[in-house]
Structure formats: structure tokens, C-alpha cells
Structure 1
Amino acid sequence: MQLNDKWQGLCWPMMDFLRCVTAALIYFAISITAVAKYSDGASKAAGVFGFFATIVFAIDFYLIFNEVAKFLKQGDSADEATARKTEARCWGHGL
């Protein structure tokens, strides 16, 4: 659907990060409910698969968090470098 081209104002890595966190929390809550409330084998199996899905989303959450952190650090260093260049130009011209 190429939504990232249509809605360029959104921070897509942050949206993906929030999706992973939300999915992990929902799967974890539903898995606990399935295991605690129902005693049949199918509910326990669903709970185990839910816990597995929670782990997978948590790993994805961790990987995306590292990518976003690297991106933000690069943005900060680029902003600092630009500010230094601008400051050097201003001092060099006596402004």
C-alpha cells in the first residue's frame, strides 16, 4: 500500500516499535487469562503459543529499539556537527 510514501509525517520506526510493544502486552495478557481461567488442554496449548508469540514480539521490540536508538544517536551527532559548522562560519565572519 506504500503508506510510508503517502504519510511522510509519521515516524514509521516508532510506529513499528509501538506495534510490537502493544502486541506483546496483549498476547501476554490473553495467554495468562487462557492458562489461569480455563483448564482444558486446548486453552493451555493456546496459552503456551501465546507466550511464545509474546517472546517473539519482545525480541522484535528489542531489535527495533536498538535501530531507533542508533538512528536517534546519528541524528543527534549530525545536528551537533551542523551546529558546529554554523558556529564556525559565524565566528569566522565576525558575526
Structure 2
Amino acid sequence: MQLNDKWQGLCWPMMDFLCCVTAALIYFAISITAVAKYSDGASKAAGMFGFFATTVFTIDFYLIVNDVAKFLKQGDSTDETTAHKTEEEILDPCFGHL
């Protein structure tokens, strides 16, 4: 749908970060509830799937944090490339990150 082109005012890496954190927390809470409250096999399996999904979202969160950290470190160094950036690239901290 190319929403990043339609809604350029949003910081898409931050939106992805918030989505990962929210999903990991929700899956973790529901998995704890499923394993602790119900004793049938289906609930235990659902809880284990939830823990697996939490792990996957946590790994995605870690990768996003690394990408944002690289971006911030790159922005701190003063290079000759800054002179070649447009005004939009300098003012928009999320420019070029998808």
C-alpha cells in the first residue's frame, strides 16, 4: 500500500518499534494467563505458542533498536555527506529509514 509515501509525517521506525513492544507485551501477558489459569492441553499449547511469538517480537525489537542506534551514530558524525543532503533530509529524523 506504500503508506510510507502517503503519510510522510510519521516516523516509521518508531511505529515499528512501538508495534513490536506492544505485541510482545500482549502476547506475554496472554501466554502467562493461558498457562497459569487453564490446565487443559490446548491452553498449554496456546501459551507455548504465545511465548514463542513473544520471543520473535523481542528479537525484532532488538534488531530495530540496533538499526536506530546505527542511524543515530551516523547522524552524530560530521561528514562531507551532510553538505550534500537536502533540507528535508536534515530536518526529518526518519528520512530514509524503512
TM-score bin (small chain): 0.7 to 0.9
Question: What residue ranges of structure 2 are gaps of 5+ in the alignment?
Answer: 83-98
CA distance in 2, matches of 1:76, 1:9: 22
SS state of the match for residue 39, structure 1? Answer: coil
Across the aligned residues of Structure 1 and Structure 2, the Cα RMSD in angstroms comes to: 1.6
TM-score (norm 1): 0.79
Partner of 1:70: 70
Structure of greater Rg: 1
TM-score (norm 2): 0.77
Question: What residue ranges of structure 1 are gaps of 5+ in the alignment?
Answer: 83-95
Q: How many residue pairs were aligned?
A: 81
Identity of counterpart residues, as a percentage?
A: 90
Q: Which has the higher contact order (CA 8 A, sep 6+)?
A: 2
Code of the aligned partner of 1:13: P
Partner of 1:23: 23
Partner of 1:61: 61
Code of the aligned partner of 1:10: L
Q: How does 1:12-51 map to 2 (within 5 A)?
A: 12-51=12-51
Task: Give the drift of 1:76.
Answer: 2.3
CA distance in 1, matches of 2:76, 2:60: 24
